[in-house]
Amino acid sequence: MIKASFRALIEECAIRSNEEDIEGVPEWERFRVISHEAGMFLFIVAYAGRRMKIAQLDGRGGAGSSIAWLAGAAQETGGEVSAFEVNPRRLLKLQNILTKARLSPIVGVSGIDPLWGEGGGVIAPPEADEELTEIEICDVSPRFDCVIVSQTETDWAKRISYGWELLEPGGLLLVIDRLQSPDSSDDLLNEFLEKRSVASVGLNVGEGIVLAYKLAPDCPEPADSSGEHAIVGEIAAKVLDELRTENLRPGSRLWAIPPETGLFLWILLNAMKARNVLEIGSSGGYSGTWIASALGNSGGKLTTIEIDTDKISLAKETYRKAGVADWVEIIEGDARDVIDELPGDYDFIFMDCDKRYYIELIDKLVPLVKTGGLIVSDNAISHGAELKGFIDTVQHHSHLASVTVGVGSGVEVTIKL
């Protein structure tokens, strides 16, 4: 659970927004509050990814509680947040809230729009572009490792292009308000990302978020719609495709995660520069291949536990064929017993085993993960009723912060505080 002082800050943001709604303040002057789920996701990703230089480019829709969530993460990592607010009324309100929470030293707030300069200092928002058919390229130097942009801004396309150029390789672009944007905007964003060296995935969390990881400049080619060939490599991508086909066969017991979940894990692991990863439930090695492919970039290691001997044999063959076996250690046994013998100090734990054991395992897993490390648990939505007790536990745990993310079958993303 996040610190009481930080919870109070988020609650105050919501109170101020409600007060303005009651007072009838025009929408473009209101202090903007994102949903608790979207804010928590921003906090977790920025904290776990050790983002040190964060830029908020929300635009004339207004800065707001998203700044507070990001500042809370920066406070944990020793980072800083750069933002701007062109509306004098909102700017004063934001500064007062940050001062009260003692977060002002972490956040630099400018009253000038970095895209429009002095001409951007207007109170009312600009008119939307009538026919936006492409995203123009901006010419700026990279200097941030995390950039946040809202897709509902009238000038969102220019902001995304500007934010992308500000982003260093290995940086994260988070496009929020995805579920509130027009379909045409989504198509244009997808086209923009498909032409770049990027790994990206759409997430149903809060108002919707696109999470994009900027690959190194020497990446051989930008990702296609699945992203696998440019991300995990041709050989591993072929193995993953074969496993997916097998998983769809009637009677299959592989129960592999969906590809979008694998991509999500890969992005998180690379953003965190994770080196020591634990997996509970190897199955046929599908999720492990995604994980190990990410660890190959950092020289890390995956320890994966599986109780079924047939699945262990298949997983070993999968890792061999995918070319990731050197980074994987398979332990045979019941995770509830095996965990007690593990050394711990994990950056990341992925749990995808019998759902009945999630709540029993979590108390054993928390001591094994580093502060700022993640525990990601699969099937949080597909098995939501069965996992309700587990989800309630991690979302109200005194040493954890957690949010349910709609990707694949749903995952619970949990950070150790």
Tens digits of residue pLDDT in 141-181: 788 999 999 888 777 888 898 899 999 999 999 999 888 77
Tell whether 84 is covered by a domain.
yes
Tell whether 106 is covered by a domain.
yes
Tell whether 170 is covered by a domain.
yes
Do 265 and 164 sit in the same domain of this protein? no
On average, the pLDDT of the chain sits at: 86
Query: Which residues, 6 or more positions from 44, have their beta carbon under 8 angstroms from its beta carbon?
Result: 73, 374, 401, 402, 403, 413, 414, 415
Count the domains in the chain: 2
Tell whether 69 is covered by a domain.
yes
Looking at 185, 214, 243, the residue that finishes a domain is 214
Do 201 and 256 sit in the same domain of this protein? no
Summarised one tens digit per residue, pLDDT across range 269-327 is 999 999 999 999 999 999 999 999 999 877 899 999 999 999 999 999 999 999 999 99
Q: For residue 53, what pLDDT is reported?
A: 96
Q: Are 307 and 331 in contact (CB under 8 A)?
A: no
> And the tokens for 217?
């400049």
Q: Report, as an integer, the average pLDDT of 330-350.
A: 95
Tell whether 109 is covered by a domain.
yes
Q: Are 180 and 156 in contact (CB under 8 A)?
A: no
CATH number of the domain within which 320 lies: 3.40.50.150
Tell whether 309 is covered by a domain.
yes
Query: Which residues, 6 or more positions from 263, have their beta carbon under 8 angstroms from its beta carbon?
Result: 199, 201, 227, 228, 231, 290
Do 90 and 199 sit in the same domain of this protein? yes
User: In terms of residue numbers, what domain contains 105?
Assistant: 4-214
Higher-scoring residue by pLDDT: 371, 231? 371
Do 188 and 245 sit in the same domain of this protein? no
Summarised one tens digit per residue, pLDDT across range 240-255 is 998 888 877 776 767 7
Tell whether 223 is covered by a domain.
no
Do 17 and 151 sit in the same domain of this protein? yes
CA angle 155, 159, 161 (to 5 degrees): 120
Looking at 183, 214, 245, the residue that finishes a domain is 214
Do 136 and 248 sit in the same domain of this protein? no
Do 388 and 258 sit in the same domain of this protein? yes
Sheet holding 411-416, edge to edge: 328-332, 301-306, 276-280, 346-351, 369-378, 411-416, 400-405
Do 204 and 235 sit in the same domain of this protein? no
Looking at 184, 214, 244, the residue that finishes a domain is 214
Do 199 and 272 sit in the same domain of this protein? no
Global pTM value? 0.91
